[in-house]
Structure 1
């Protein structure tokens, strides 16, 4: 995965999207085409993908018109049909119309004890062939506000921080109510929280205002605490850190009520990864990013369950890998990141954005 970076100063969403599409038209077109191939491999026709993408985009236009305008302008500047870029932006909603994948994605650990600066680390696990390129984007959503984030080309946001000292981690979830389509894309919910929220309470309010058709956990981090916002078509739940200050999340619901509808596949490693996070968490605080990545692996090193590597014997759409290891410095308004698994990240070192 090649990571590209861009800094934009405009507060106009259409202009920002035009800048994105003009600068990275090749990447936007490539990722859009790869996702259409992926959806086809999962059994969705192009007509059904377009229907779901356009329904999600209309929901986005009603809920956050600036983000819809940015996506459309990006597509226009890149020379790609608008619905195809919107399909990447609504990829979680489109995937929710397919049978749940066997593996899952992402493991997040946040230390947010009272009186301590928050410390975070996440693995971003996905299909490597879908992300030959990704984006680090620093931008100005409104006068006096700033955001830095990591995302895929075409998706509004994934993992990021804002200048108010608030950050967001991202984990997919699976609920039996998912898949109807027409909901606000969950990546856009993450983006709007980064653009507008200064506090946990504001983040909860923004997330609660979105009607979604796919499930996700957005772990919101501030200097005053953290919470995982578990979104689903059945409602929003707020999961707080334990008494030890730790908030850990993989790919199943932690809220007891929403967990009753959990349909995370039985062969997913989500429970095993959560158990691993619990086992290594005591060693994580107070470390530099590379040291924390090594501690995240624990005694198993590169063989740890949080170091996901693709099985080349499987079809491409069933190959999962850890593509990025990333931590948030909410006080310093920065992402510390390294491409690859935590063990390789520990060896190669981290970069700061």
Structure 2
């Protein structure tokens, strides 16, 4: 599989959404269908996608009117309803609302290494449902002010992992908290895109995330590089109180899928539903202590279906199998993103 990349040729949010929707109408429909099935699995029955999408639409408008207009364009261009497009953009929040641990799992391992030359190394293994292995692309989004947002995302979803041309990147780890799932709050994928589009520096990004009324938890790791300096911080957004995780004394910042900050760590449910997260974090730390090669350090299958390099467990039902769908590297200083299909072992 090769990485598909699309660069928008229009600048207006509505027009950009329409162009993307027309270009990838089949892929967006497949993504809507796949997530509708996941929602129904989580709910153990049919779901009212119009209602859920309507709730998501209100939350999206509260974050960004421009992104909401882009979503209207995505719907018009692809022939899907606005509610459907809003629902897949709030897929993390809807799965949390439906309260099914088996269908809201998901693993990601993130590494940031800050270098003295101001060129941070930022790498993530994105693990998600094996059935969605063909559902993603890299989207390059020019803006009227000349800046560019580049994001790895799923068809019809406005953003996820990404970087902008202002020296700011975002990596993504799903988290789970006992307080998740109360309504549909600010969708974390829309928040990531809003930060990449609008933040001109690290402080603006932090302020934007700190006040976000989320209903599903995630760690958004911000990486900044400018004027020969660099910094990184994982922002653990959750319904209780935002938390922050900083690099160690050597400039290494690691994150998997459990909370590393207080007070949210006391409500962490991942320690029950996905305890492999704590072992993955320890494996990363120890393997990186003996090797500067991040991809080699991520090439561990020790935990099987919960490994740093995750392959689908054939013992699980097909709809519940997770795999590393892509390895993503951000060059924050240059504002570029490289995505490699498959796990770390496919790069060695």
Asked whether 1:273 is paired with 2:249, we answer no
Query: Deviations for 1:7-51, whole angstroms, at most 9, x for unmatched residues?
Result: 114331100100010000000001101110111122254444443
Offset of residue 296 of structure 1:
2.5
Relative to structure 1, the CA distance from residue 14 to residue 304 in structure 2 (aligned partners, 3 Å threshold; closer, same or farther) is closer
Distance 1:108 1:171 in 2: 8
* Cα distance change, pair 203–82 in 1 and its aligned pair in 2 (3 A): same
Find the counterpart in structure 2 of residue 218 from structure 1: 220
Contact 2:127 2:326 in 1 (8 A): yes
Residues 35 and 88, structure 2, Cα contact 8 Å, conserved in 1: yes
Q: Against the structure 1 CA distance between its residues 207 and 312, is the aligned structure 2 distance closer, same or farther, given a 3 Å change threshold? A: same
- Shift, 1:316, TM fit: 2.5
**Residues 97-123 of structure 1: CA distance to partner in whole angstroms, max 9, x if unpaired?**
222238531000101255542102111
Q: Is the 8 A contact 1:92 1:186 kept in 2?
A: yes
- Counterpart of 2:258 in structure 1 is 252
Would you say the 8 A contact 1:14–1:70 is kept in 2?
yes
In the alignment, the residues of structure 2 paired with residue 210 and residue 231 of structure 1 have an alpha-carbon distance, to the nearest angstrom, of: 8
Aligned twin of 1:99: 100
CA contact (8 A) 1:49 1:94 kept: no
Structure 2 gap ranges (5+): none
Structure 1: stretches of 5+ with no match in the other structure = 347-353
Q: TM-score, normalised by structure 2?
A: 0.91
SS in 1 for 2:138: strand
Distance 2:29 2:238 in 1: 30
Aligned length: 341
Offset, 1:307 = 1.0
CA distance in 1, matches of 2:290, 2:332: 21
Q: 2:34 aligns to what?
A: 34
1:329 aligns with 2:331: yes
| SS of structure 1 residue aligned to 2:85 | helix
Task: Give the Cα separation in 1 of the matches to 2:4 and 2:73.
Answer: 19
How far apart, CA to CA, are the structure 1 residues paired with 2:305 and 2:52?
A: 38
Following TM superposition, by how much is the alpha carbon of 1:300 offset from its aligned partner in structure 2, in angstroms?
Answer: 6.4
User: Which deviates more, 100-109 or 246-255?
Assistant: 100-109
**Equivalent residue, structure 1, for 2:244:** 238
SS in 1 for 2:219: strand
Structure 1 pair 186–303 and aligned structure 2 pair: CA distance change class (3 A): closer
Single out whichever of 45-54 and 66-75 deviates more from structure 2: 45-54
C-alpha distance in 1 between matches for 2:300 and 2:17: 42
Cα shift at 1:345: 2.3
